[in-house]
Structure 1
Amino acid sequence: MKITVLTENTKLKNSDLIAEHGISLFIEKNGYKILFDTGGPQESAIENASRLGIDLRKVDAVIISHGHDDHTGGLLKFFQINDKAPVYLKKEALGSYYSKRPEGEKYIGIDSEIVEKYAERLYFIDKTVEIAKNMFIVPNIHKEFPVPYSNHVLFEKVNEKLIKDDFKHELFMIIENSNGLTVFTGCGHSGIKNIINTAKKVFPHKKIGTVLGGFHLQAGARTFETAKKEEIEEIAEWLKLEAAGQIYTGHCTGERGFNIMKPILSGKLKSIYTGMEITL
C-alpha cells in the first residue's frame, strides 16, 4: 500500500507544492485508488496531485471523514475532473457547521453547490462497509473516552441556533495490511482513543498496526485553542500501548501536540507533510 499526502498544513522548505490547513491522502492498494478527504478550500490537494503526476481521473472512491471545509474543500474541483468515483460520507456531514473564533463565528461546512450539482455522486454510510477488498469505512464511533478539549469551539447550526457539534458526521477508514489494521482519521474529533477502540470492536481478532491522521489537539489554522499538556501526554501513553506500528500524524495535531507526544512515543511517531510518500 502506498500513501501520498496530497496536502497538509506543512511542506518541506524547498517544495513547490501548496500547503494549507487541511488534509488529503491518495491511497493505492492492489490497483484500487482512494482519495481520503480533499483538503482545504484553496484546492491545494487537486493542484498538488497534478504537480505530483497523480491522475485523479483514475480515483475509484472518495471518502470524506467529516463535514468541515478543510477536508472537503477540493471536492467541487474533483467532480470536474473525475466523473465516476462515488463519494462516501455520513448524511450528517451535510449539516451547517461553524467555528467560534476570537473575531466571531465562521461557517466551515460543505459548499452547498456540492449537493446542488452532484447529489447523485454522494453515498451515505450508516454502518461499516467494505468498499473494496480489505478496505472498510466505519461510520459509528463509540465514545467511551473523552473527546478532544479543542472541540468546544465547534458548533452546528440547527433552526438558526448554534449547538455544540456532536460529530455524528465523522467516520474513519480501516485498511487491512500485512502489519495489521491501518487506521485513517481525518481530524479525530471523536477522539483518537475512541476511534482506535471502535476499530478493535469492529475487528476484535486483529491488531492495530499503523495509525495515520489528525488527532485534533488544536483548533484552527492559527491555533486559537489547544489541548492541555496532560491530555496530550495521556493520549501518547495510550497510543504507545495500543498501536503496534508507526503513528503518522499532522494537520490538527499541530506542532505543539506533536512535540509533547514525541518524547513518549519516540521513533514510533512521525510527522506528515505535503508531498510525503509512505509505503506500508
Structure 2
Amino acid sequence: MTDATGSAILRIDADTNIDGTATPSGTFTVIGLASQFDSAPFDGGYQVLPRSLADIIGAGAPALSASPSSIDFGTVTVGGSAIATVTMTNVSALPLTLTPPFTITGTAASQYSAGVPAATTLAAGAATTVQVAFAPTTSGAKNATLNITSNSGSAVIALTGAGAPPGGGSSAGIVISDFRMRGPNAGNDEFIELYNPGAAPVAIGGYKVSGSNNAGTVSVRATITAGKIIPPHGHYLLRWRIRPTPPASPTTAVSR
C-alpha cells in the first residue's frame, strides 16, 4: 500500500477470517492495527493488520447490484397507487452494509416513495429487497430516480409512470376481463372479474361497484377491502348480493 508519503505492507493474520480469501483489487479502504517492525533508523517496515473481512471496505468493483434497473408502473389513477420490488445483491466476497433511507430524485420525486430494506447488512452473495410505491397526485407522466446506497458502491433505478384523472376509466391499467349481471339466481348471481395486464402489482383496496335500482337510485353494491393487491397478470373475482339496505359488501372475493 502506498500513499503520498510512503508505503506500508498489508499483512493478513492467519487466525482471521480474511486468510484464504481472494486478494482485493482496485482502490479500497482498510481499517487495521498499524505497526512498525524495522530497526534503526526506524524509517520503514510499516504494516497494517486488518482484523476481519469487515475491515476491508470497497475492494475491487462496486459490491452492490440492484435489479431491475428500471421500473415502469404504467398508468395509475390519481389517488391510487402501485407497488414494485427491487432486489439488492452483494456481489463481492466481503460484507456490505446498505445505508437507507434511500433517496428519490428527479422532477417527479414526490410521486414515489421507497420503503425500508428487509435487511441492511448483506454477507457475500446475499440479497434483500425493498418496495417502491408510485402514488400520483396529478395526471401526466412522472419520471424519477431511486438512489440505493451502501458502504461499497451505489445503484440507481429509473422510475416511470403516469397519473390518470379519476373517473377516466382506467386505474393502473386494471381492466374488466369478465362480468355477469342478473345470472340464473338473479341478483344473487352477479360478479365482476378484474385483470392486471401490467408488470407491477396494483393495490385495489377501496374500489367500489355502484348500481341503480328500478327507481334509478344509485348505490354502492360492493367495496373491495383494504390491502387487496392484484399481482402482474393476475385476476381478482368480485361477487356480491344485492340487498335493499345497507349497500352490500362482497360475499366472495378471490384473487387468483
Q: TM-score, normalised by structure 2?
A: 0.25
Indicate the structure (1 or 2) with the bigger Cα radius of gyration.
2
Q: TM-score, normalised by structure 1?
A: 0.23
Higher helix content, 1 or 2: 1
Higher strand content, 1 or 2: 2
